[in-house]
Amino acid sequence: MVALIIGFGMATLLNAASIEHTARGMQLGAGRSLALGLAKSAHTISSWLGLDEPRKLVDKELGREPLNHPVVVMPLKPLMPPIKPVRVPTKARPLLLWVGGDSMAMVFGQSLINQAAQTDVIKPTLDYHVSTGLSRPDFYDWDYHLVQVIKRTKPEAMVVMFGTNDGQSVEYDGRVLKFGTHAWVKLYHQRVSLAMDIMRGSAVRIYWVGQPIMRSSVFSHTVAVMNEVYRQEAAKRPWVHFIPSWSLFAKNGRYTAYLNDDSGELQLMRGEDGIHFTRAGGDRLAKAVFAVIAADWSISP
């Protein structure tokens, strides 16, 4: 028992920075405050003893992004560079397609990557991060990550799907902004617009996929609020295509877990949580998104 306690204590100190980062990402409340206070104390001790250095070296060798990095500043107004023309991809010069987002982008992204790869004129990359989003850059900073993606890979087309983790209160400018309030929606507009403008630094076209209807009516309302933000911000930017998915997974305007596929067979489209996609659901959404991409870039299915 003593050995286990000592081992647990050493593991905590060696990984204190990551533990603090995880605690910071919890939803606001008493539990987060307690966990963050304990994690900060452990991190302070770890830094003082130099026990955080091995983790830093491992992260550097694995190419992980640092937990502490420069903050991407929100511009005063949207960036409006000239619209770049699309080209016709070839096997010798394939379209560089990047697909990313939260956990909703995992199965859907895999399906889209598979469909894109079959054309022989698209070079796709999938980059999803579960439990992340745009509303909590203090936990995972997608703006910083997008900047690094553009520097490394310079994608021409980017597909993103966010929202399942964003419907929560946030801390901003010394205040707590509750989800759905005017102040929260205004801030979310800013964060969505910044992400769109960052991607415009490389992408000729951005395909922003909206969230589908959810089994929970409360959660459906939550994602509907964010879908409207995506739609409005995309409408301001000619290089951004907002692709709604709500009706694609609804039947008679209501949530359903089962839908007919292209062959007419009834298939389970949604997971047990009533949120995520099954493989059939991922394929269904990927087909709709790929049709838009193919039309833009003159790619035969």
In the block, residue with structure tokens 């204190």: 16
Q: Please check whether residue 194 lies inside any domain of the structure.
A: yes
Of 242, 247, 210, 208, residue with least CA distance to 225? 210
pLDDT for res 82: 63
State whether 186 and 248 are in the same domain.
Answer: yes
State whether 107 and 220 are in the same domain.
Answer: yes
DSSP 72: P
pLDDT-derived band at 55 (thresholds 50, 70, 90) equals low
Q: Please check whether residue 88 lies inside any domain of the structure.
A: no
State whether 169 and 245 are in the same domain.
Answer: yes
Q: What is the pTM of this model?
A: 0.80
State whether 110 and 58 are in the same domain.
Answer: no
Q: What order do you get walking across the sheet with 122-128 strand by strand?
A: 122-128, 95-101, 157-161, 205-209, 240-243
Give the structural domain span for 192: 95-297
- Choose the final residue of a domain: 14, 42, 62: 62
Per-residue pLDDT tens digits for 257-278: 999 999 999 999 999 999 999 9
pLDDT for res 85: 85
State whether 158 and 274 are in the same domain.
Answer: yes
Q: Is the pLDDT of residue 246 over 60?
A: yes
- Higher-scoring residue by pLDDT: 12, 224: 224
State whether 27 and 160 are in the same domain.
Answer: no
**Domain count of the fold of the chain:** 2
Give the Cβ contact number of residue 83 at 10 Å: 12
pLDDT for res 46: 57
Q: Please check whether residue 71 lies inside any domain of the structure.
A: no
Q: Please check whether residue 20 lies inside any domain of the structure.
A: yes
Q: Tell me the residue type at 265.
A: E
Report how far residue 195's alpha carbon sits from residue 202's, in angstroms, rounded to the nearest whole number: 12
Report how far residue 140's alpha carbon sits from residue 58's, in angstroms, rounded to the nearest whole number: 19
- Higher-scoring residue by pLDDT: 7, 215: 215
pLDDT (mean) for 251-260? 97
Per-residue pLDDT tens digits for 150-197: 999 999 999 999 999 999 999 999 999 999 999 999 999 999 999 999
Q: Please check whether residue 213 lies inside any domain of the structure.
A: yes
State whether 279 and 146 are in the same domain.
Answer: yes
Q: How far is CA 140 from the centre of its chain?
A: 10
Q: Please check whether residue 34 lies inside any domain of the structure.
A: yes
* Percent of the residues in the chain that have a pLDDT greater than 70, as a whole number: 73
227 neighbors 192 (Cβ within 8 angstroms): no
Do the strands 157-161 and 95-101 form a parallel or antiparallel pair, or are they unpaired? Answer: parallel
